[in-house]
């Protein structure tokens, strides 16, 4: 953010509530890649101590990474899928095993990127006449290893942190597709819907949902209660939710009342 932007009277705003200020901080960090504490304090008309507390809370939610004097986007520090898949791995394997029951015997499926979905891809049995589309290189490799399915990989700029493609080129390709079933995951889930910190991921996930006849969400219990910057789907967009028994029961009851088939594993 330039000093001119900060000093321009037209950019000055009255103080915000903490939750709104934190959402805007995440958006600014995502936009600029990195930003300093002093810049944020000046922009929001609060003390540097307030900003540091905000950054600490946002780091705990994995929405950004605190560094000396400021913050950078969490994406810069996001571990590879191969490492992330170790977290809550038992839940993810159970969810993936149950999701196999949602596979058609033949036809086309679209698999989103993510560690839970990688476990699902590893579980796809051979012998089905499936065409698999994915934006994830690890997922494509896992399906190829199992054999028996043809595979298409969405093109575009590769995110080296997750080995997935989420840019505008991928979005345009998905908008031309129609698939039988989409298997999707999320960074955050509440009774209001599914969300992610990243606007470009939200756009791609939304396009994937529009391209599918049926949408199956694979969500490990740790994602519930997290509400990130960008909501990409309401529960009316989801047909089946597969999750673990540890997920918040009140939230799951609310989701079920919105017409979603909720499956516990």
Q: What is the rounded distance in angstroms from the CA atom of residue 13 to the CA atom of residue 9?
A: 9
Whether 23 and 91 share a structural domain? no
Whether 190 and 93 share a structural domain? yes
Whether 159 and 89 share a structural domain? yes
Last-in-domain residue among 77, 97, 129: 77
Whether 221 and 143 share a structural domain? yes
Whether 37 and 126 share a structural domain? no
Whether 223 and 94 share a structural domain? yes
Whether 138 and 247 share a structural domain? yes
pTM of the model as a whole: 0.71
Q: What is the rounded distance in angstroms from the CA atom of residue 191 to the CA atom of residue 150?
A: 36
Whether 61 and 112 share a structural domain? no
Half-sphere exposure for 256 (CA within 13 Å, toward CB):
12
Contact 260, 235 (CB under 8 A): yes
CATH number at residue 241: 3.40.50.1360
Q: What is the rounded distance in angstroms from the CA atom of residue 220 to the CA atom of residue 223?
A: 6
Q: What is the rounded distance in angstroms from the CA atom of residue 257 to the CA atom of residue 241?
A: 12
Number of folded domains that form the chain: 2
C-beta atoms surrounding 44 within 10 Å: 20
Last-in-domain residue among 11, 42, 77: 77
Q: Please, which pLDDT band fits residue 5 given cuts at 50, 70 and 90?
A: very low
Query: Rounded mean pLDDT of 137-143?
Result: 92
The pair phi, psi for residue 132, each rounded to 5°, is -105, 130
Q: Decide if pLDDT at 7 tops 50.
A: no
Q: SS3 helix, strand, coil % of the chain, rounded to 5?
A: 45, 25, 30
Strand pairing category for 70-73 and 64-67: antiparallel
Number of H helices, E strands in the chain: 11, 15
Q: What is the rounded distance in angstroms from the CA atom of residue 124 to the CA atom of residue 86?
A: 20
Whether 202 and 257 share a structural domain? yes
Whether 22 and 120 share a structural domain? no
The residue written with tokens 């400021």 in the block is 70
CATH number at residue 43: 1.10.10.10
Q: What is the rounded distance in angstroms from the CA atom of residue 134 to the CA atom of residue 164?
A: 9
Lowest-pLDDT range of 1-15, 97-111, 115-129, 211-225: 1-15
Query: Distances in Å between the alpha carbon of 125 and those of 96, 121, 197?
Result: 12, 9, 33
> What percent of the chain lies above the pLDDT cut of 70?
88
Whether 149 and 236 share a structural domain? yes
Tens of pLDDT along 199-250? 889 999 999 999 999 999 999 999 999 999 899 999 999 999 999 999 999 9
Whether 107 and 198 share a structural domain? yes
Q: What is the rounded distance in angstroms from the CA atom of residue 256 to the CA atom of residue 251?
A: 9
Last-in-domain residue among 44, 77, 110: 77
Domain holding 96, by residue range, is: 82-264
Q: What is the rounded distance in angstroms from the CA atom of residue 203 to the CA atom of residue 131?
A: 23
């Amino acid at each position: 953010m330039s000093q001119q932007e900060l000093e321009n009277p037209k950019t000055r705003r009255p103080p915000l509530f903490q939750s709104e200020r934190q959402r805007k901080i995440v958006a600014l960090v995502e936009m600029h890649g990195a930003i300093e504490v002093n810049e944020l304090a000046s922009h929001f008309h609060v003390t540097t101590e307030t900003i540091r507390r905000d950054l600490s809370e946002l780091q705990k939610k994995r929405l950004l990474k605190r560094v000396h004097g400021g913050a950078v986007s969490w994406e810069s520090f996001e571990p590879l899928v191969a490492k992330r898949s170790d977290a809550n791995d038992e839940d993810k394997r159970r969810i993936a095993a149950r999701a196999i029951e949602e596979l058609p015997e033949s036809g086309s499926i679209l698999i989103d990127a993510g560690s839970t979905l990688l476990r699902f891809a590893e579980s796809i049995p051979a012998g089905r006449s499936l065409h698999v589309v994915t934006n994830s290189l690890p997922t494509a490799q896992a399906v190829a290893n199992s054999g028996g399915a043809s595979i298409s990989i969405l093109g575009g700029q590769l995110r080296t942190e997750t080995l997935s493609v989420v840019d505008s080129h991928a979005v345009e390709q998905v908008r031309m597709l129609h698939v039988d079933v989409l298997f999707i995951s999320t960074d955050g889930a509440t009774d209001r819907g599914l969300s992610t910190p990243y606007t470009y991921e939200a756009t791609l996930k939304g396009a994937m949902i529009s391209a599918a006849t049926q949408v199956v969400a694979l969500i490990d219990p740790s994602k519930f209660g997290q509400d990130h910057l960008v909501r990409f789907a309401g529960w009316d967009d989801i047909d089946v939710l597969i999750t673990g028994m540890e997920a918040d029961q009140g939230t799951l009851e609310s989701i079920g009342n919105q017409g979603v088939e909720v499956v516990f594993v």
